[in-house]
Structure 1
């Protein structure tokens, strides 16, 4: 296989840049440098590490236009959504800085012969393997919490956003983080897999498909190394008997097309009770047909191109396979002519088990519309999935919706009467085949630390 990779603009289909991959030895040298850096970085006071997180937030502000241009050019992100991604990353840095000292402070615990201390100590070099769909956020959400915790990190980014990988390392260094505290490694997946066994890699965090994620976890387990996995989903959004239908339609459209439909925690299966099915279907169809796809820089563009040609082909194959199994087209579901890897906002109905549109993740702007007999049946269908990342419930009875969310909906995150992405102060992560571990909300900063008990016997 070639030792070079090209980044391609998915709107123009033009080559942006060619990158030479690091050799295995060069990647291992980077890990050695990260480990040497860790020896000093772990001794830096938490408050000083937190100040650098604020400096990184400032770097995002300063470099906003360059970051957005990279997002548009490398993966087709709609311009306004690129700005939102940067704002989220700024919020994550500021929140991490705010809570770091409290979260990582030593705790005094009862110990009958004397006293005890519980301490949260960094453990070493963390390997991150991250996808392209949120090319800044995916990296920042795991790396800044680990760095503030006192770890160092090496990161394998997706090959179609290697320009962003370079930019992130540059911003970390310009913010004042020491050399080798954070490194973007220009490597392929095979090299990244081999790095898991390196003696100085102490943990791995991965975001991507459940198939690859499970293989990463299996490899790490051979060496007793902890992993945090976020493995996508086919999130169900429930429209119950007493739902506000216009509100549900508006939120569901947003939840399906955001980030060009290429979002793990987004609305994908729309489970609507029989009572509301026809009304929701017609309104949803009308709204999805009104979605404009085109130049991601244009102000009136709702939907940009998919990030790569092969991703569009995979999505269309899943759609075609579902149709062959009995699903029906409500709108879209055809690859448009012309330049750019576009796929229109689309809806399939009569979606049932053993179809990709029901069982798997459709990573693009295709909605799976499913009729439920009643509210109980809707909840059953929602949980009938190997995934469990996010989901949504629409009901005018807020107390009922919250009760369902808390006790019946088996996912890590649930929206009630709305749609939202990640929030710095709330935990992010899933269950079942969507992975394990949590980021954000003060939880991610403790995922890769040694929770150490020190017991001091009173000798007086």
Structure 2
């Protein structure tokens, strides 16, 4: 089955690529295995030079890559450019810090000489999504390659041009050609890739369903996996919060990337005494976000990635309404060209309704009332997901106390959840396991080896 780029603004197929045959896939995996045999023995200084070179390519081609993202999945070019530059930043981060993160660690107190070593293991399979088609890949690739591993990429089938562009950036940089390869394959070939002995693990970012299947396949082969899956992040607004600031951040946290972000704020849990004020302010802030052609520099919200995903979202909106929710903004499927969905707000839907426990992957905000902080905390944690969350209050110390109680991988007080190379990133519960970024991320695919001298 061919892989194709479909422009979500026009609905037209812009490019089509033949899927790799099993023989082509095997050849690419063998290349990275051969590359690993050499790459694992390179020193950190050389690996850092290659990452710095890749960062330079990413910066130089940021406009080109932003246009590809706009064409294939609808990301506004200003945001795509920022994404490409963020990828350059994570390469530089690991170039500067990777060696120290993986330095051998002496262990004292045992009465004998001992240390812990961190060694590369082989080729990592990256199974990546379309919503951040460059960042999701580079935030896994940069630490894996700095650690001395090699990588093969199975990207989302709707962004083949982005997938090939990432490989071209590696080839243009100082990296050897056989250290990173893109596999133009569909989901059905993932298990076959995991069968190769040289593949030592898989890092997947994607849906809960995809993660369950790939994790099961990896487990059956006794291979390490890191899963960064869906989320339904709580955005808790206390009575003493700065409502205007909270609403401004809430609008972009819910509608940025057309709402198609795993760490987007999705469930707004607001104290009853400020509920109406917050909803009104959120609507005003949404109105400020320009929706339109993703190639326009002033566009903030582009189309969703496909009309199919838009239809799924609209079905969830209809089910929210049927369950008793009140649509106070948007919620009407638009006519005309482009996979656009209006920025929408739904209030007073039953918190325990099945649809309210799902992830809404689009620009729709569910706003719930809480009578007190204890109820708000209970609602925040009453979810099968645990990726991110935020708490809004003028009392910072109290906000930090509540942040520690939220069951998630990342929680922010008075800010938007985001990924940062300095901090570990990942989720708990149905949002996955393992960590990306920081020193935790670079150690996910290494042999943590104890060396002892008796």
- Take 2:297 and 2:175, find their aligned partners in 1: how far apart are those partners? 36
SS of 2:410's partner is coil
Structure 1 match to 2:452: 455
Runs of 4+ in 1 over 4 A off after TM superposition: none
TM-score by length of 2: 0.97
TM-score by length of 1: 0.96
Structure 2 match to 1:38: 36
Contact 1:132 1:161 in 2 (8 A): yes
Structure 1 match to 2:227: 229
- Deviations, residues 404-442 of structure 1 (Å, cap 9, x unaligned): 112x11001111112142112111111111011111122
SS of 2:384's partner is coil
SS of 1:275's partner is helix
User: Is 1:433 the counterpart of 2:398 in the alignment?
Assistant: no
Structure 2 match to 1:202: 200
- Take 1:289 and 1:171, find their aligned partners in 2: how far apart are those partners? 38
Contact 2:389 2:417 in 1 (8 A): no
- Take 1:350 and 1:401, find their aligned partners in 2: how far apart are those partners? 25
Structure 2 match to 1:303: 301
Check 1:375–1:113 CA distance in 2 against 1; reply closer, same or farther (3 A cut).
closer
Please point out which of 236, 249, 252 is paired with 1:238: 236
- Take 2:289 and 2:88, find their aligned partners in 1: how far apart are those partners? 29
- Take 2:382 and 2:286, find their aligned partners in 1: how far apart are those partners? 26
Please point out which of 384, 396, 399 is paired with 2:397: 399
Greater displacement, 313-322 / 109-118: 109-118
Please point out which of 402, 407, 410 is paired with 1:410: 407
Q: Which runs of 5+ in 1 are unaligned?
A: none
- Deviations, residues 96-132 of structure 1 (Å, cap 9, x unaligned): 1111110111122237564112110001011110000
- Deviations, residues 21-59 of structure 1 (Å, cap 9, x unaligned): 001232122112111111111000012111111111100
- Take 1:73 and 1:332, find their aligned partners in 2: how far apart are those partners? 25
Greater displacement, 393-402 / 172-181: 172-181
Q: Number of aligned pairs?
A: 454
Pairing 1:227-376 to 2, within 5 Å after superposition:
227-355=225-353, 357-376=355-374
Contact 1:11 1:305 in 2 (8 A): yes
Check 1:365–1:199 CA distance in 2 against 1; reply closer, same or farther (3 A cut).
same
Contact 2:49 2:174 in 1 (8 A): no
Structure 2 match to 1:20: 18
Q: Which runs of 5+ in 2 are unaligned?
A: none
User: 1:247: Cα distance to partner?
Assistant: 1.0
CA RMSD of aligned residues (A): 1.3
- Take 2:26 and 2:181, find their aligned partners in 1: how far apart are those partners? 12
Greater displacement, 375-384 / 281-290: 281-290
